[in-house]
Amino acid sequence: MHERDDPRVPVPDDAYSPQRDDAYVPVPDDAYAPPRDDACAPPRDDACAPPRDDARAPGRDDAHALVRDMMRIAVVDYGSGNLASASRALALAAERAGIAAEVAVTADPAVVAQAHRIVLPGQGAFADCASGLASVRGMREAIETATAAGTPFLGICVGMQLMAERGLEHAETPGFGWLQGDITELDVPGLRLPQMGWNALDFTPGAHPLLDGLAPGDHTYFVHSYALTGGAPDEVIATTDYGGTVVAMVACGNRAGTQFHVEKSQEVGLRILANFLRWTP
């Protein structure tokens, strides 16, 4: 039983008190006044006018134009390489260079084929990286076709080594064949392998656009036991010293590579990546 149905509940003293004086507030004199003269006025001439050209909010066409204007950078995902580090470094380099860019880590050959820049990271053994790349159907062909058409390419570490004619790590494995020479084990008696740490670059200032803003002696980060040997002098743009001269950077046409981890080389690496994004070979 609800409380209000209980006869034992006392009724408040004011339950039936007279209504307040304002219970029937008089109606204002103008409550039924005739409408104002302009209440039914015809609409203004411009009431249905089309919006001004500059009043239109950005729509899909504008978004598509923005996407078209952005640089598309493809970081090839074939199961090897510091993909996240490379993509973050490329995005930061683009931002610092004032370049509107979209960085995609992708295993889709169609995305690589349509990219404005192709980056191939790599770490581990030459043969394993070559096998991993071959396992992504159509990827090697997409890279070869796009770069043959002029798309700038950057190989990082083993990604650079794959540019050579062949790798001799564990077995003889064909590379892309873009660079003269083989990938062989470093011959550095008394020094530790892999070469791991910061090493100075040696190059001729102005020798290549990828080196713009750098100075001989700038340090980059290396982790490797194998390197390019027998390369063509005009394809080697920078070296380092580790028990002898070691190839550090290469370039042939629109294809370039760094033996060091450019994505881990801090300010020097970011400068090289920005140069790569500006590069128009």
Q: Give the residue numbers marked as catalytic.
A: 157, 261, 263
SS3 string, 14-79, reads: CCCCCCCCCCCCCCCCCCCCCCCCCCCCCCCCCCCCCCCHHHCCCCHHHHHHHHHHCEEEEEECCC
C-alpha torsion angle, residues 145, 151, 155, 161 (rounded to 10): 40
Contacts of 16 (CB under 8 A, 6+ apart): none
CB 238 within 8 A of CB 203: yes
Three-state DSSP at 6 gives coil
In angstroms, the Cα distances linking 222 to 13, 186, 190, 263 are: 93, 13, 18, 11
98-102: long-range pairs with CB below 8 Å, 24+: 99/71, 99/274, 99/277, 99/278, 100/66, 100/69, 100/70, 100/71, 101/70, 101/71, 101/72, 101/73, 101/277, 102/67, 102/70, 102/71, 102/72, 102/73
